[in-house]
Chains A and B, each alone.
Chain A
Amino acid sequence: MLNDRRGRIRAEANRLSEFFIAQGALPVEAASLQPAEILLDLYGEDIRARAFVTHDAHNGEQMLRPDFTVPVVQMHMDEGAEPARYTYCGPVWRKQEASSDRASEYLQVGFEVFDRSDPAASDAEVFALFAELLNPLKLRAATGDLGILMAAVSGLATLNSRKAALKRHIWRPARFRQLLDRYSGKSPVPASRAALLQALNNQSAEDVIAGQGTHVGLRSPVEIANRVQALADDAAADHISGSEVALLNDILNLREKSTIALDRLRDIEVDMPAIGPALDRFAARLDALAARGVDVDALDFEGSYGRTSLEYYDGFVFGFYAEARADLPVIASGGRYDAMTAVLGRGRSIPAVGGVIRPEFILAMQEGA
């Protein structure tokens, strides 16, 4: 008999798929080749390092789908009835790291919920189904909530431009930290910026720009002057206070069991009331998880979880890990991505949460290889 590993992975994928169908999910398909422009607009040029790009004279650039989320969201926004539960099963393609021996083509089985009625219940539904499926493998679940972090940033007593810049870089922790250091006065103003601000003392922004000679490029003198004004406003504004930075750090560094994490965050809320509504959603989710039989007293919560994923998660996030198998990456992961539906929905949006499983890793655990 052939050692038909691909066949066994496919059979495992089918089993997972049938589980989601039995839970009421509608099976959907997506094209393997996706328009590159949409993915590039969502993820930026960084996606090129992760996804395979095809070129042809007629269609221009397309990408072998790096995930199903984007096409499934688009399909739902274009033609889906609400509420909806979808499942899919098929290959995705990702370029792998230099030294990695991981496959660049692999099967993904996913489950996505589009439902406005009760987001906390939808979060719990998705997590509990994944937990049930994966229960025999004794995995460790990690969870987080990017919504709390975003609420904390929104609540800072500082310029809206700074909050927007911090939120834009929530998914790039190093850049986020750099911005926070500058806004809090921890790192110095770059010399070139100081010189520009100095020049503005006796010249208008327009004069400074005109003084540079010939204008080239699409970015107009007005756009440049607007940003110069923004820099001047920023320089005139107070630093983000040390106590606010400390609160933000407390959230980012938080690692606790979920119920204790909620208590800690409620303590932080006393000094940072803006996170209150996000904490109410967190509390409602824990109740909904408990109602589905998840032991929330034992469920790990990390304040920074989900910040380095490529995905567009902006609320609840989760991942399942095989602690005894350091060679395996995350076995299953998912989260809430309401903001992405707004971007792809061109003005419309819908609360959405979902996750994916890698059947080959489940097989690897079952077979011990």
Chain B
Amino acid sequence: MAIKLGIPSKGRLQDKTFDWFKARGVDLSRSTSAREYAGAVLGIDGVELVLLSAGEIPRELGAGRIHLGVTGTDLVRENTPLWRQSCAELTLMGFGHADLVIAVPNVWVDVDTLDDLDAAAARFRADHGFRLRIATKYHSLVRDFLQAKGVADYQLVDSQGATEGTVKNLTAEAIADITSTGDTLRANHLKMLSDGVIHRSQAALFLSKTASLNSDETQSLNQVLAALEISA
């Protein structure tokens, strides 16, 4: 059996992943049909390329169904409980930068820090009778962060996309989402909190600690790591 390397199935993340491996002398190739989600690693035997949604790669790593995987550090932390037990972050790849931040309306001139957010949440709850809503899809990361910072009287509401629009739509008072330039936040009349960066994310190569390896597979894995000059 071959070991499996999971990489994002489309978009710039895939292109940059190919470039990153190529710059290190490892040629990844997609199968001849661009529609087939498979490929190969040229020059190293026994490595199969698996193309997956970046959001599913953490789960596959955690379950040990792929041995290596490229995905965002944010996605692994959010989607894999106790991720350090099931995965090792081998190396940061230097692209796919995005920050998970808390943002509030520009007009909240009284709110710039988490301390302000906490105080505003207490008043909001007293005024409206419900806890201040923060829209996000990163529930674990946001909750752990706010708990550690001692912010209370908020609730997380799920938003799987167009999260910046939830405030204008009155389904949330604030958001926690990924941003790289802040343009979408500004376009939606939102601003970041000055101490509200929850996680600075980028693409990384992960090794599954749960995937089984026979001696051939171990050899293949070591060849890949040696080519990439990574000691695992």
Chain A residues at the B interface, C-beta cutoff of 8 Å: 40-41, 44-46, 48-49, 98, 165, 168-169, 172, 174-175, 178, 182, 190, 192-193, 196, 205, 208-209, 212-219, 221, 223-224, 226-228, 231
Docked CA distance A49–B128 (Å): 25
Residues in A with CB closer than 8 Å to B146 are 45
* Other-chain residue from B85, B109, B113, B188 in contact with A209 (beta carbon distance below 8 A): B109
Q: Interface residues of B, CB < 8 Å — how many?
A: 41
Chain B residues at the A interface, C-beta cutoff of 8 Å: 82, 85, 105-110, 112-113, 115-116, 118-120, 122-124, 127-128, 131, 139, 143-144, 146-147, 149-150, 152-156, 167-168, 170, 173, 188-190, 194
Docked CA distance A214–B144 (Å): 32
Most chain A Cβ neighbours within 10 Å, of B107, B123, B139, B150: B107
Given contacts A45-B156, A178-B115, contact A196 B110 (CB under 8 A): yes
Judge whether A216 and B120 touch: CB under 8 Å: no
User: What is the predominant secondary structure among interface residues of chain A facing chain B?
Assistant: helix
User: What is the predominant secondary structure among interface residues of chain B facing chain A?
Assistant: mixed
Judge whether A219 and B124 touch: CB under 8 Å: yes
Judge whether A169 and B109 touch: CB under 8 Å: no
Given contacts A192-B194, A196-B110, contact A168 B128 (CB under 8 A): no
* Other-chain residue from B108, B131, B147, B153 in contact with A219 (beta carbon distance below 8 A): B108
Residues in B with CB closer than 8 Å to A216 are 105-107, 167-168, 188-190
Docked CA distance A62–B127 (Å): 26
Docked CA distance A192–B112 (Å): 7
Judge whether B115 and A215 touch: CB under 8 Å: no
Docked CA distance A41–B85 (Å): 33
| CB nearest to A48 among chain B residues | B143
Judge whether B105 and A165 touch: CB under 8 Å: no
Judge whether B82 and A98 touch: CB under 8 Å: yes
Residues in A with CB closer than 8 Å to B128 are 218
Judge whether B107 and A212 touch: CB under 8 Å: yes
| CB nearest to B127 among chain A residues | A223
Residues in A with CB closer than 8 Å to B127 are 223
| CB nearest to A165 among chain B residues | B119
Judge whether A190 and B105 touch: CB under 8 Å: no
Residues in B with CB closer than 8 Å to A209 are 107, 109
Residues in B with CB closer than 8 Å to A44 are 131, 152-154
Judge whether B107 and A224 touch: CB under 8 Å: yes
CB A304 to nearest CB in B, in angstroms, measures: 16
13 A-B pairs (CB sep. < 8 Å): A41-B131, A45-B146, A45-B154, A49-B147, A169-B152, A212-B109, A213-B107, A214-B107, A216-B106, A216-B190, A217-B105, A217-B173, A218-B128
